[in-house]
Structures are given as structure tokens and as C-alpha cells.
């Protein structure tokens, strides 16, 4: 057999492994959480208002006995890949099954990730309103063009402190929302203990004119800091934001804070 030839029976073995994993492990675990459905998608909620976890498979290497898959989560007022529901660092979560290898480790990892889907859906169903009316989607779509809405250049958190992240902190005063969002991601991931980080994130959650900046700070960054002073109060205030996506993100972050096992 050459490297370019498919392994005999590899396709059948890996697809059978996927089906077994869904039927014997992931399906029962999701049903225990209150989802209903079969292998392709699971729903949570009522008949008219509900959230969905739907599976997406990448079969480009299935003839070699490799199957990759991920989950897309619809939470009524918006949707995202499941990796987009997890705190920074941002990423796209995919799992891989290989013919002849155990499927249990991947299945357990999927179940752990799906525990983020439940609070996301519940947060969406708390304020169903008009689905997606003014939702700002995930980071991949970008926050738009310059708006002149940066923090005051004199803000103490934008001042240099002789650290390697001084430039990023300065970006919070930028009129470009993309740069402000990049600053939030950088300092949340790489400088969480810098006192400027929490101050900058709370300032932007409450005052940034761009809904995507506020949303992603609420659902991707502040969930890592809910034990810090002022964070819960700021999220509670953001739950009354005028933007659907920001309101959802704040409620979602508060649910994550209540479930300490996800932090």
C-alpha cells in the first residue's frame, strides 16, 4: 500500500467509531443536560424557542481513516462555533477520530466543550425578543471601521508602565474598534495580572461605542475574571445593554460565573 492509497476499511471504521461515540457517549451526556435529538443535532428549550447544537464533519481525509468534526451552536439570538463560546485565547475547536484508535478521549473532550453550549442557549432564551435583530457575531466578522470611540488618551490604563504590553494598552485609546478589540484580547490573555487589564476591560464594556467590542469583552474575557472586584456588577449592568448581543454575552458570562467548574 502506498501513502496515497486509502487504508482498507478505514472509511468504515472511522465513521462507525463516530456513530458509536455519538450514540453511546455524547448523545446520552447531552440528554442528561436536557437536550433532545439524535446524532446530527440536539435541541434545548421549547417547541417554538430553542437552541441547537449541530455537528459539522470534515470528511476530506475520511478515506485515509481520519474524520474531523466540530459543533455549531445556535442560541436563539445568535450563533457561533463552539470554540467561540470559550474564554480567550480565541480558537476554533475541532476534534479528530482516527480509524483503529479509541473514540472515548475525543468524546469526553466534546462533552466538556458542550457544557459551554448549555449556558449560552439558556442565556439566549432568557431574553428571546427578535432572534438576531441586532446581533454582532463572532470575532471572525470584525467590528467594522473607525468610529473615534476609544478611551481618553489620558486614561491611566492607557499609560505606559515599562512592560512589553504597553503598546497594546495604548490601543485602548484608538479610534479603530479592531485595534481596541485586539488590545483587549492581548492583555486578557498575556497580562491578566496587570492592574491596567481589568480597568481597561471594564471601561470598554461600559463605554465602548462598538457592540462587538462590548460583546466579546463580556463573553470571552471577563468570564476569566469574575472573582475580581466590580466584574459581576459590570456584567449585571451590561445585561441591560441596548444591543441584543451584548445583553446575551453578559447573561452568558454571569452563568459561567455561577458554574465555577467552567472557569
| Same domain? 83 vs 185 | no
Q: Which domain holds residue 20?
A: 10-126
Q: CB-based contacts of 201: which residues, under 8 Å, 6+ apart?
A: 184, 187, 188, 217, 221, 222, 225
Asked if the bond preceding 249 is cis, omega within 30° of 0, the reply is no
Where a domain ends, among 126, 149, 184? 126
Is 76 among the domain residues?
yes
| Same domain? 188 vs 233 | yes
Q: Is 129 left (phi over 0), alpha (psi -120 to 50) or beta?
A: left
Is 134 among the domain residues?
no
**How many folded domains does the chain comprise?**
2
Is 217 among the domain residues?
yes
| Same domain? 104 vs 148 | no
| DSSP H stretches of helix in 153-243 | 166-170, 177-190, 195-207, 211-216, 231-238
The distance in angstroms from the start CA to the end CA of the chain is 47
Is 3 among the domain residues?
no
CA distance 222 to 217: 6
| Same domain? 114 vs 148 | no
pTM of the model as a whole = 0.88
| Same domain? 122 vs 54 | yes
Is 205 among the domain residues?
yes
Where a domain ends, among 94, 126, 158? 126
Is 33 among the domain residues?
yes
Is 133 among the domain residues?
no
| Same domain? 29 vs 101 | yes
| Same domain? 15 vs 83 | yes
One digit per residue, the tens of pLDDT, for the chain of length 263 reads: 333 344 444 567 999 999 999 999 999 999 999 999 887 899 999 988 899 999 999 988 888 899 999 999 998 888 889 998 988 775 788 999 999 899 999 999 999 999 899 999 999 999 766 555 445 555 666 788 999 999 999 999 999 999 999 999 999 999 999 999 999 999 999 999 999 999 999 999 999 999 999 999 999 999 989 999 999 999 999 999 999 899 999 999 999 999 865 65
Where a domain ends, among 104, 126, 148? 126
| Same domain? 55 vs 98 | yes
Q: What is the pLDDT of residue 131?
A: 55
Is 193 among the domain residues?
yes
Cβ-based neighbour number of residue 10 at 10 Å: 19
Amino acid at each position: 500500500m502506498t501513502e496515497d492509497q486509502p487504508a482498507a476499511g478505514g472509511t468504515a471504521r472511522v465513521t462507525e467509531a463516530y456513530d458509536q461515540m455519538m450514540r453511546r457517549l455524547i448523545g446520552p451526556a447531552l440528554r442528561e443536560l436536557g437536550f433532545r435529538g439524535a446524532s446530527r443535532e440536539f435541541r434545548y428549550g421549547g417547541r417554538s424557542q430553542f437552541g441547537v447544537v449541530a455537528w459539522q464533519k470534515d470528511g476530506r481525509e475520511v478515506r485515509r481513516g481520519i474524520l474531523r468534526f466540530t459543533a455549531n451552536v445556535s442560541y436563539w439570538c445568535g450563533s457561533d462555533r463552539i470554540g467561540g463560546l470559550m474564554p480567550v485565547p480565541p480558537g476554533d475547536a475541532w476534534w479528530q477520530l482516527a480509524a483503529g484508535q479509541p473514540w472515548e478521549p475525543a468524546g469526553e473532550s466534546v462533552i466538556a466543550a458542550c457544557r459551554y453550549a448549555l449556558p449560552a442557549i439558556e442565556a439566549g432564551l432568557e431574553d428571546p425578543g427578535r432572534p438576531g435583530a441586532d446581533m454582532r457575531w463572532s470575532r471572525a466578522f470584525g467590528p467594522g471601521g473607525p468610529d473615534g470611540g476609544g478611551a481618553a488618551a489620558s486614561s491611566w490604563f492607557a499609560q505606559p508602565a515599562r512592560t512589553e504590553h504597553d503598546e497594546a494598552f495604548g490601543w485602548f485609546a484608538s479610534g479603530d474598534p479592531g485595534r481596541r478589540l485586539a488590545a483587549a484580547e492581548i492583555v486578557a490573555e498575556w497580562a491578566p495580572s496587570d492592574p491596567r487589564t481589568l480597568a481597561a476591560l471594564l471601561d470598554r464594556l461600559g463605554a465602548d461605542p462598538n457592540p462587538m467590542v462590548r460583546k466579546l469583552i463580556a463573553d470571552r474575557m471577563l468570564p476569566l475574571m469574575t472573582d475580581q472586584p466590580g466584574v459581576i456588577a459590570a456584567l449585571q449592568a451590561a445585561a441591560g445593554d441596548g444591543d441584543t448581543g451584548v445583553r446575551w454575552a453578559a447573561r452568558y458570562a454571569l452563568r459561567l460565573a455561577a458554574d465555577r467548574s467552567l472557569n
